[in-house]
Amino acid sequence: MSPRDLMGTSPRGKIVVLLFFCYWVFAVTASVTYDRKAVIIDGKRRILISGSIHYPRSTPEMWPDLIQKAKEGGVDVIETYVFWNGHEPSPGKYYFEDRFDLVKFIKLVQQAGLYVHLRIGPYVCAEWNFGGFPVWLKFVPGITFRTDNEPFKAAMQSFTEKIVSMMKEEKLFQAHGGPIIMSQIENEFGPIEGRLGVAGKAYTQWAAKMAIGLHTEVPWVMCKQPDAPDPVIDTCNGYYCDSFRPNTKYKPKIWTENWTGWYTEFGCAVPRRPTEDLAFSVARFIQSGGSFVNYYMYHGGTNFGRTSSGLFITTSYDYDAPIDEYGLLNEPKWGHLRDLHKAIKLCEPALVSADPTVTQLGMNLEAYVFKTDFGDCAAFLANYDTKSAAKATFGNGQYDLPPWSISILPDCKTAVFNTARVGSQISQMEMTPVDGKFTWQSYNEEPSSSSEDDTLTEYALWEQLNVTRDSSDYLWYMTDVNIDSDEAFIKRGESPILTAMSAGHALHVFINGQLSGTVFGSLKNPKLTFSDSVKLTVGNNKLSLLSVTVGLPNVGSHFETWNAGVLGPVTLQGLNEGTRDLSQQKWSYKVGLKGENALSLHTLSGSNSVEWAKGSLLAKKQPLTWYKTSFSTPTGDDPLAFDMSSMGKGQVWVNGQSIGRHWPGYIASGRCNDCNYAGNYTEYKCQTNCGEPSQRWYHVPRSWLNSSGNVLVVFEEWGGDPIGISLVKRTKRFVCADISDGQAALKNGHMFKSGKIYRPKAHLQCSPGQKISEIKFASYGQPQGTCGNFLEGSCHANRSYDAAKRNCIGKQSCFVTVAPEVFGGDPCPGNSKKFSIEALCSSSSKKQFYQ
Ligand SMILES: *[C@@H]1O[C@H](CO)[C@@H](O)[C@H](O)[C@H]1NC(C)=O
Ligand SMILES: *[C@@H]1O[C@H](CO)[C@@H](O)[C@H](O)[C@H]1NC(C)=O
Ligand SMILES: *[C@@H]1O[C@H](CO)[C@@H](O)[C@H](O)[C@H]1NC(C)=O
Ligand SMILES: *[C@@H]1O[C@H](CO)[C@@H](O)[C@H](O)[C@H]1NC(C)=O
Ligand SMILES: CC(=O)N[C@H]1CO[C@H](CO)[C@@H](O)[C@@H]1O
């Protein structure tokens, strides 16, 4: 009996039969199954809203709050990848502590009453170093990644089994009473499979079979995998997934990655995705029969330490997600999606039981109606036009649809939500410097050069990862260059040209301890060539190349072939002999920096083990320099960050914890045009930060700080000036609301109170510890502009300010009901109106000082 035989009965009949089917086939009380409409939990088809939160991208102290904010935002499922290289740093040696405490994370989700989608992978991509693969895997003899290769499959199976058995022991799968309702094996393999031919196909079959054989009793999914074998569900990733169809008629339509924004690369502008377009894409997916949508990311967080990849992916993984990097609500995105989720949930009974009837209501206008025999009816009215608003006639009503928008009618009559009308609060955040100045000390990292007692030497250029095994970003390539006294360039007072070819990602060239030049690549082209004249003197010259990686690549196949570092050739041009090839001469190697490996300057004990220069001896804008200072923690809960804008490139630690790589010296290029939400989104459409550092602020979690005596250590490669570094806190500057009165409001997920539609309310909320000190703007009528630039229109209720001032001044949060009587009457009867308000948030906190 195949699941297909179960189709064609009545909708509710199907669920019962399918459950029964699973029961006797697998002989277990499988409480999570699926059919063509939806995932079925405990016998109920569900519309599920999911959000990605990657546990190592925040701290365990942040987890409960992030999960709670996701829950309040209407999320049912927390989705996370499992990060193999974090959990198995060396073969068979596992780590599940601190930010990698996966069980704790899942249990916190469970305590909040939410489900988990565990995307084990264990290839995860995710802009995570090496796509989540441990680098030691690259050196397993005979390995070929992500294909029908025995050593690879053995390692993948062993880690997958490890995770599944942990989850079983802790009773975390739904069948054992836990929150995990779904798991993923592999990740976006479909696009690669074709290139690998027969072996690719065989690998897909093997991966599915291996996963199914683990008997988790929850469905497995494979994303971007059109040939996912039964019963594995193939799912969609992308900015829009409404036209996606699963590979069989008996699988539900699942969107595993709906990109809420996009990641940032060092050297590139920061992408933002308009809230209206994101909501539109989700409504489109649901109206076309989708039943599970995951926001990638819901909280992006931070690539602490050396976990980012890409290459060149920034330390911030904010992703323009509904919860920002710091754990604060990204408004209006968070609130607008919350309102969308409420509206969708009101439609759930109709959505899970009926298939939509699609009707054209005009040019670019469509109605999707879900109507059951049991009296449920939900409608989605869509306007696909990117320029014109539309008036749609539907049933007995008329509905105003802004361009590129969908209105949701949970009873087929009342429009409770439109994707382009953002009714939730809008916040403008601010990074406020904490008073006081850092007092710096410095330590010079002497450029390394070859010497008699070098242990790592060879008459060849070595591939970088082969030597470092990624234990550090840094590898020194050192050699001697002998120049005879009869060299013509010496007599002519000229300099020969040194050329060094590298597979990436950045390179500093030192001659006799002096920096000769720096080159670096980009995500699109990590390879680089240094080619410049260098000052050489008669006799022995010390040539030292400091090759630097910026995260290992995370996308593709054949990870075993990926290289970094100076692969050569390295040549010297303009000598009497012509060009001298240095590639085959004797090279010495040193892994890591002295301050990193020998001295551990970034740790508390290490930083006390050397004499630091202070006062007038402090290094001034020198390359390869360590800096140290100490500071006290400002009181309060506002998230903290370092403003690194005066620095070039390097790494930052606080109390021995790595905050990540800084690179504000890499200025963002891109096209930062005005952004219109309407029209197909791509990551190039709505960019910010052009001409500024790609990342200026670096998050330091409060849980890493003591109240005083915190040690901040910065390693700077380029010669930035630490005097410009400051500690800042992230607070709200002003908050706005912009609400039309034509739209019904939802209260606790309901549309009506004793038959009457709820009135919309403008809600305002400052950060904890802040109060609303001023109403900068308030207008009920037809105000123009957007938050920060509102203007009164010709229709304006002259008592617009009264209610706002009365309700809000001096409060941390407040609301104003949007109704004519609140503002002294209707200023332009018969016209549609809205209420726009902007309020200033001020904090009364005491001044803080550094020590
Ligand atoms: C890798 O390093 C070893 C020494 O550790 C060396 O013998 C070998 O040639 C290197 N291979 C490459 C490709 O660099
Ligand atoms: C958006 O993209 C889809 C799919 O590529 C295309 O069919 C549609 O015409 C595009 N719409 C607009 C307004 O560009
Ligand atoms: C912070 O406090 C912990 C104990 O709570 C201590 O182990 C650590 O050394 C302190 N860090 C600093 C920089 O003083
Ligand atoms: C509001 O302004 C209108 C037009 O200027 C005026 O007629 C009316 O009296 C004003 N109402 C109040 C309450 O000030
Ligand atoms: C990386 C990737 O797959 N990007 C795709 C995201 O979705 C958009 C629109 O659906 C595609 O154009 C991109 O290629």
Residue 407's closest CA among 361, 443, 374?
361
**Is the omega angle on the peptide bond into residue 219 within 30 degrees of 0, that is, cis?**
no
Are 204 and 146 in contact, with CB atoms under 8 Å apart?
no
| Ligand 1: centre distance to CA 466 (Å) | 6
Q: Which two tokens stand for residue 546?
A: 């400091």
pLDDT tens track for 434-490: 987 899 999 999 999 999 888 899 999 999 999 999 999 999 999 999 999 999 999
Q: How many CB atoms lie within 10 A of CB 669?
A: 15
| Ligand 1: centre distance to CA 443 (Å) | 33
At 489, which helix (H) or strand (E)?
helix 488-491
Does this model's pTM top 0.75? My answer is: yes
pLDDT tens track for 25-47: 343 454 899 999 999 999 999 99
Q: Which atom of ligand 4 is nearest to the CA of 797?
A: 1
Q: What is the pLDDT of residue 754?
A: 63
Mutation test residue for ligand 1: of 454, 459, 466, 567, the one with most atoms within 8 Å of CB:
466
Q: Is 805 in the pocket of ligand 4 (CB under 6 A)?
A: no
Mutation test residue for ligand 4: of 792, 798, 799, 822, the one with most atoms within 8 Å of CB:
798
Q: Which atom of ligand 2 is nearest to the CA of 386?
A: 13
Question: CA 533, CA 15: separation in Å to the nearest integer?
Answer: 75
Q: What is the pLDDT of residue 5?
A: 33
Look up residue 165 and give its amino acid: S
Q: What is the pLDDT of residue 520?
A: 94
CA dihedral 121, 123, 124, 125 (to 10 degrees): -160
Question: CA 621, CA 515: separation in Å to the nearest integer?
Answer: 13
Q: Which atom of ligand 5 is nearest to the CA of 241?
A: 10
Q: What is the pLDDT of residue 846?
A: 44
Q: Is 462 in the pocket of ligand 1 (CB under 6 A)?
A: yes
| Ligand 3: centre distance to CA 706 (Å) | 6
Q: What is the pLDDT of residue 435?
A: 80
Which ligand has the minimum distance to the alpha carbon of residue 826?
4
Q: Which two tokens stand for residue 464?
A: 């970088």
| Ligand 5: centre distance to CA 253 (Å) | 18
Mutation test residue for ligand 2: of 241, 244, 680, 681, the one with most atoms within 8 Å of CB:
680
Residue 639's closest CA among 56, 61, 78?
61
Burial (CB count <10 Å: 0-12, 13-18, 19+), residue 579:
middle
Sheet holding 357-362, edge to edge: 357-362, 365-371, 377-383, 405-409, 417-418
Which ligand has the minimum distance to the alpha carbon of residue 464?
1
| Ligand 2: centre distance to CA 680 (Å) | 6
Which ligand has the minimum distance to the alpha carbon of residue 239?
5
Sheet holding 32-34, edge to edge: 32-34, 39-41, 44-46
**CA distance between the termini of the chain:** 74
Which ligand has the minimum distance to the alpha carbon of residue 469?
1
Residue of minimum CA distance from atom 11 in ligand 5: 238
Q: Three-state DSSP class for 466?
A: helix
Are 458 and 588 in contact, with CB atoms under 8 Å apart?
no
Q: What is the pLDDT of residue 67?
A: 98
Q: What is the pLDDT of residue 313?
A: 95
Question: CA 685, CA 259: separation in Å to the nearest integer?
Answer: 14
Total H helices, total E strands in the chain: 14, 45
Regions in the chain scoring below 70 on pLDDT: 1-30, 742-755, 844-851
Report how far Cα 370 is from the mean position of its chain's Cα atoms: 34
Place of tokens 């800096």: 627
- Note every long-range contact of 534-538, with CB atoms under 8 Å and residues 24 or more positions apart, other chains counting: 534/495, 534/496, 534/497, 534/498, 534/509, 535/495, 535/511, 536/481, 536/483, 536/495, 536/496, 536/511, 537/483, 537/512, 538/483, 538/484, 538/485, 538/487, 538/490
| Active site members | 188, 257
Residue 409's closest CA among 439, 370, 372, 438?
370
| Ligand 3: centre distance to CA 90 (Å) | 28
Q: Which two tokens stand for residue 542?
A: 């010390």
Residue of minimum CA distance from atom 2 in ligand 3: 706
